[in-house]
Amino acid sequence: MDVMQYNFNVEKDDFDRAGEASSNIKKILRQLGIDAAIIRRIAIATYEAEINIVIHSLGGEIDLEVDPSSIKIIARDKGPGIANIELAMQAGYSTASDKVREMGFGAGMGLPNMKKCSDKFEVESELGKGTTISMIMFI
């Protein structure tokens, strides 16, 4: 199997389409015959990353890269960046607005969920520039 790459655009505040990128990624992985337990972990991680871009960022994209030994997800956004990554990683900590919380988002579980589902997990963020989350799951 060669390395396969896909890219999905995610708009800020687009709650109607939020989840579409994750859904497409899940369908691709299913077609590739990836193990169901791994697909579940990736579905959870990409959904959290996608929702974070919708809620917190100015827009972004998600890259999917599949090679014979691993699946790599990179969620990249255009800012505003995370002021304190250590705090953001704490379960229950969230800067989401009341409006977003009323929809059931903003539980402060996004980043911890992503980390839990990944074999390798990395957050890089620069204030005013943006955030990049890299996740690798071994097949």
Partner 1 sequence: MINQICEKINARVLAGANQSHREVKGVYICDLLSWVMSHAKKDDVWITVMSHANVVAVASLLDLGCIIVPEDIQMDQDALIKAEEEGIPILSTSMNAYDIAVELNKLGLGK
Write down the least CB distance from residue 26 to partner 1, Å. 6
The first and second tokens of residue 124, run together, are 């890089």
In the block, tokens 């919380």 appear at 101
Letters for 73-92 (x = contact with partner 1 by CB under 8 A, - = none) are --------------------
**Residue 72 in the binding site for partner 1 (CB under 8 A):** no
User: Do residues 57 and 97 make contact, with C-beta atoms less than 8 angstroms apart?
Assistant: no
Q: Which stretch binds partner 1 (CB under 8 A): 3-11, 42-50, 69-77, 79-87?
A: 42-50
Letters for 2-41 (x = contact with partner 1 by CB under 8 A, - = none) are -------------xx-xxx-xx--x-------------x-
| DSSP per-residue string spanning 18-65 | TTHHHHHHHHHHHHTT--HHHHHHHHHHHHHHHHHHHHHSS-EEEEEE
Q: DSSP letter for 110, please.
A: H
In the complex with partner 1, the residue whose CB is nearer, 16 or 98, is 16
